[in-house]
Amino acid sequence: MERRPVAASTDCRPFLARNEFLIRRLHSLTGLIPVGAFMTVHLATNASVLDGPATFQRAVYQIHSLGRLLPVVEWAFIFLPILFHGLLGLVIIRGGMVNTGSYPLIGNIRYVLQRATGVIALVFILCHVFHMHGWFHSELWLERVVEPLGGGRFRPFSAPSTLGAAMQGGLVIPALYAVGLVACVYHLANGLWTMGITWGVWAGPQAQRRANWICGTAGVVLGILALSALYGAMTVDVPRAVEIEDALYEARVTAHKLAPNERKRADAERTGRGGSRVE
Amino acid sequence: MAENHREGEAAKTFDVRILRQAGPGQASYWERHRVSYEPDMNVISVLQKIAAHPRTADGQDVTPVAWDCNCLEEVCGSCTMVINGRVRQACSALVDRLLEQHPDEIELRPASTFPVVRDLVVDRGRLFQALKKVTAWVAVDGYYDRGEGPPQSQEEQEQLYPLSHCMSCGCCLEACPQYARVELTRGVDESPEEFVQRQAETYDRLFLGPHAISQVILFNSHPTGRHMSSLRLDALIAEGGIQLCGNAQNCVAVCPKDIPLTTSIARAGRAATVHALRKWFDV
């Protein structure tokens, strides 16, 4: 397979065409597993910050207990499925049209919203991962590109304080997050309903109406969870969070439960960590 | 409005705005006709009146407006057009009702999903090509008498009867946001047979539409039709198959025969997935 990326873009149609059914079914499936499932867990983890910085920090330690495997898991089960679902989604959007002007029916409006929220969600996720995570773990990339651009703000071993610092200081970022979150939640809840039709889980009109209620309720619950997580991040008491997370970090390092890793901790000058440690 | 007409005022008229087109590939244009009102007209009788006196509202003599119709009782589907922005059959579109919604004017457009042959006549070939693609029939012809088919339960009959109401009118395709219009023109050095072949191949690569998906359910549930079910499911999972449905559910909302199209789509989606998995792991 000697194929250059440029040639691949023109050659990909026959491949997409030949495997259209399989690819579309995979697209539908990845929306729920792993993307939707990950999103639910991610929102629940982040909403745990409402219980206090310690709860959130412990939840993050649990995730980071994967150690060096984490980037593999991240890419295999989160980033690649999201990219697959999102980029193929753009191809799918190109195959449809908006005719709500002639047919202003509720199902048709939901069809358009599903595509609009999908695009918003894709842009939001790309920005959000850049803002918090930085996309790649390479030191050079993070120091030279991401951090000067204001990204890569989240540090897993200083989780509540860096999360709080990234989401505080102005309402622009929280407002953008709110839009992105609502788009993601709508896309998942409505997508769950259409997925049930696509796979033939609910077929009859009554069954579809019942499923609509279930998916709608799931959407509302997820929406509350998402906005709680956002509110939680916006109201973290950063100096107090620094104390708590540093105590947790040092306890873990002393107990040999954790290999010291300054890269995963907050920059001293940003959160004033150095000062608090001297006390 | 209609009340006034019934009171028998002298020379009550209404206007009909028609999107006309002389032939394939030609530019379309709007034309206004003035028609004298009579009680209990339908859009076909309006078109007959216009054909009898093909003169526009501003007095210009024009060619008669062409349209398609056959049964005049909403079972053949041939007079499908867009009337006041809604796709439906001209024969069952009653003028009195239309004037209640939009006083003094009726707007007629050809169905936009299909290539225009002339004026309101469209070529629904792609619709029928999809039915061919999914083998939307029961094969009963053969060299010997196969005897009676297996009986069908009352319950099954009741479930399938609504699906058999499909009259291939194309309303579902007109409303579907996943079914984009495709119009091919014959090449200079292309024979008619080659063109028909190319047309069929092109149509087969594009979304087959809810009507054909529903016919798969109808014939795959039929006791004799069932024998060819894997052939139909192969068509459903081929390029342009059921996977292109976007779940907008416009089809079921506009179907003049109230066919539960989205139920068929869900059942066909389930059958198609099982069929694809079976092909993958079982064969």
Locate tokens 């479930």: which residue?
B159
Which pLDDT score is estimated for B149?
A: 83
Given an 8 Å threshold on Cβ–Cβ distance, is B273 in contact with A204?
A: no
- Half-sphere CA count of A121, side-chain side, radius 13 A: 26
Residue A268 pLDDT > 80, yes or no? Answer: no
Query: CB of A39 within 8 A of CB of A184?
Result: yes
Burial of B226 (C-beta count, 10 Å sphere; 0-12/13-18/19+): middle
pLDDT for A8-38, tens place per residue?
Answer: 444 456 888 889 999 999 999 999 999 999 9
Given an 8 Å threshold on Cβ–Cβ distance, is B263 in contact with A24?
A: no
**What's the mean pLDDT when you consider all of chain A?**
90
Query: CB of B213 within 8 A of CB of B173?
Result: no
Q: Thinking of the domain A23-278, which architecture would CATH place it in? A: Up-down Bundle (1.20)
B109 strand-pairing partners: B82
Token pair of A75 as six digits: 């890419």
Amino acid at A208: Q
Which pLDDT score is estimated for A12?
A: 53
For residue B274, the distance in angstroms to the closest alpha carbon of chain A comes to 9
Name the residue among B253, B128, B199 with its Cα closest to residue A100.
B253
Given an 8 Å threshold on Cβ–Cβ distance, is A98 in contact with B177?
A: yes
- What H or E segment, with its residue span, contains residue B47? helix B43-52
pLDDT for A157-195, tens place per residue?
Answer: 999 999 999 999 899 999 999 999 999 999 999 999 999
Could you state, in order of their start, the residue ranges of all structural domains in chain A?
A: 23-278
| Whether B266 contacts chain A with CB within 8 A | yes
Which pLDDT score is estimated for B91?
A: 97
Which pLDDT score is estimated for A17?
A: 87
| Whether A102 contacts chain B with CB within 8 A | yes
Residue A277 pLDDT > 60, yes or no? Answer: no
Residue A274 pLDDT > 50, yes or no? Answer: no
Query: CB of B117 within 8 A of CB of B123?
Result: yes
Chain A residues closer than 8 Å to B242 by CB: 21
Q: How far apart are CA A245 and CA B184, in angstroms?
A: 67
Q: Please tell me chain B's helix, strand, coil percentages from 3-state DSSP, rounded to the nearest 5.
A: 40, 15, 45
What CATH number labels B2-118? 3.10.20.30
Which pLDDT score is estimated for B148?
A: 84
Could you state, in order of their start, the residue ranges of all structural domains in chain B?
A: 2-118, 124-281
B81 strand-pairing partners: B88
> B244 Cβ partners below 8 Å, 6+ apart?
A20, A24, A95, B178, B207
Which pLDDT score is estimated for B1?
A: 47
Residue A115 pLDDT > 50, yes or no? Answer: yes
User: CATH for B124-281, among 3.40.50.300, 3.40.190.10, 1.10.1060.10, 3.10.180.10?
Assistant: 1.10.1060.10
Q: How far apart are CA A212 and CA A151, in angstroms?
A: 38
| Whether A76 contacts chain B with CB within 8 A | no
pLDDT for A41-58, tens place per residue?
Answer: 999 999 999 999 999 999
Averaged over successive runs of 10 residues, the pLDDT of chain B (283 residues) comes to: 50 93 96 95 97 95 96 96 96 96 94 96 97 94 83 93 97 97 94 96 96 98 93 96 97 97 98 95 84
